[in-house]
Amino acid sequence: MVPVRLFLSGLVLLLLGLGFQSAEAQSDRGWSLCNETSFVIEAAIGRPEGSGVVVEGWTKLRPGSCETALEGPLTPGVHFLYGRTSDAHRGGERSWGGGHELCVDTLGSFSVESLEDCSAMGLEAQGFRPVLIERANRWSTTFSETDDFGMQRAAAAGVQRLLEDSGVYSGKIDGLIGRNTRAAIAEFLNSRNLSSDTSDADLIDILEQVASDRSREVGFTVCNRTKKRIWSAIARRAGENWESRGWWILEAGGCARVVDEPLLQAEHFVYGELEEDDGSVRTLSRASDAFCVARAKFAINGRENCEQSAYRTALFTATPAPEDRKLIFEFFERDFAASGRGG
């Protein structure tokens, strides 16, 4: 077995408090983003330019690291920030943002001026958080989660999470490198013929790629094959009960992975609302299975008496059965009723 040091040389220093460089020390000039979570985060920023905003992404932030997202000198004033988790992580995408909508390219690196209609450019609207930058030389903003790891434990927690996402660890995500974590690291390095000298950053990058590849082999994905925006939702069994979840906004040609775990051979249902240019909405024409939906993002247990719980009833359609624990459902224009006639 490949020997493994605790946790690899760089992280030993990090855990002892000797290897972390603060956001202020990392960059003499610019806007630094720091990641105190156990997730790999992809960040996009909005910077003022003239009377508009230029949106740029994505800056990858490994757990326990800081990166410069915008070189200085900075223009003091309101900037914007949005972050999402890497698709390597199970449990659905997590995001950090706010109520200011700006356009992003979900598929790769981009730089775009603010637009009124994101879908016209094949982009997707996301809610950004305003960040007031008060100095021209440097500024830093930190991503955090409910568990307060801090910078020192976030890197270790991030490796634990990626090991779990890769299928070689099932312990706690606590940022403490114990026997189980060391054994999982050693197993992973050995299975990939990697040296114990592999750097911390390289280990995280390799784990992220392995976990991403693994996630694509299972789960439930919905895709929009129309030229309009679709609001989508799903329903399926949750234990002894039914559960409905939404919304996933699908721009023209876009897809979303709505379940990122192996699917059971059970019934799955989808719902879609297709937006027309005149503001009207078309729903699925051959839908007959009633579930509850809400106006905002939702996860609802049960499918009875929706209105009594301040929800509304919508008609879903059954999907084909999963194959090899995976399912892809595609919405086509022909699936939707004419305006005003949907279920």
- Per DSSP, the three-state class of 181 is helix
Q: In the chain, where does DSSP find H-type helix?
A: 9-15, 23-26, 150-165, 179-191, 200-215
In a domain, 157, yes or no: yes
Q: How far apart are CA 322 and CA 255, in angstroms?
A: 17
DSSP for residue 108: S
3-state secondary structure 135-156: CCCEEEEEECCCCCCHHHHHHH
Do residue 144 and residue 6 come from a single domain?
A: yes
Judge whether 130 and 78 are in contact, CB under 8 Å.
yes
What range defines the domain where residue 326 resides? 219-335
Output the six-digit token pair for 156.
Answer: 């270790």
Question: Looking at the domain assignment, is residue 245 inside a domain?
Answer: yes
- How many CA atoms are closer than 13 Å to the CA of 159, on its beta-carbon side? 29
**Domain match, 62 and 11 both:** yes
Q: Say if residue 89 is in the same domain as residue 197.
A: yes
Domain boundary among 156, 190, 215: 215
Domain total of the chain: 2
Q: Is 272 helix (H, G, I), strand (E, B) or coil?
A: strand
Q: What is the pLDDT of residue 204?
A: 94
Q: Are 23 and 32 in contact (CB under 8 A)?
A: yes
pLDDT digit of tens for each residue in the chain (343 aa)?
Answer: 333 333 443 343 333 332 323 334 344 589 999 999 999 999 999 999 988 999 999 999 999 999 999 999 999 999 999 999 998 888 778 899 999 999 998 888 999 997 788 877 778 889 999 999 999 999 999 999 998 898 889 999 999 999 998 888 888 999 998 999 999 999 999 999 998 888 888 999 999 999 888 777 778 889 999 989 999 999 998 888 999 999 998 988 888 888 877 788 789 999 999 998 888 899 999 899 999 999 988 999 999 999 999 999 999 999 998 988 888 999 999 999 887 544 4
Q: Which of 153, 181, 215 is the last residue of a domain?
A: 215
Structural domain ending residue among the three candidates 215, 240, 262: 215
Structure tokens at 127: 């809610």
Residues 236 and 260 placed together within one structural domain of the fold: yes
pLDDT tens readout for residues 99-140:
999 999 888 899 999 778 887 777 888 999 999 999 999 999
Residue 86 within a domain: yes
Q: How far apart are CA 243 and CA 57, in angstroms?
A: 34
Same domain, 89 and 178: yes
Residue 98 falls inside a structural domain: yes
Residue 150 is assigned to a structural domain of this protein = yes
The reply to whether 170 and 188 lie within a common domain is: yes
Whether residue 270 is found in the same domain as residue 193: no
Beta-carbon contacts of 323 under 8 Å, excluding residues fewer than 6 positions away, are none
Decide if 210 is inside a domain.
Answer: yes
C-beta of residue 270 within 8 angstroms of C-beta of residue 259? no
CB within 8 Å of 4: residues ≥ 6 apart: 182, 185, 186, 189, 196
Residues 243 and 277 both lie in one domain: yes
Q: Does 107 map to a domain?
A: yes
Preceding peptide of 269 cis, ω within 30°: no
Predicted TM-score (pTM) of the model is 0.69
Residue 159: CB partners within 8 Å, gap ≥ 6?
7, 11, 63, 181, 185, 200, 203, 204, 207
- Of 49, 47, 54, nearest in space to 31 by CA: 47
131 and 145 part of one domain? yes
**Phi-psi bin for 202: left (phi > 0), alpha (psi -120 to 50), beta?**
alpha
Say whether both 262 and 159 belong to one domain: no
Task: Report the pLDDT value the prediction gives residue 77, as an integer from 0 to 100.
Answer: 95
Whether 207 and 236 share a structural domain: no
Let me know whether 173 and 101 are in one domain. Answer: yes
Instruction: Give a yes or no: residue 340 inside a domain.
Output: no
3 state DSSP class of 121: helix
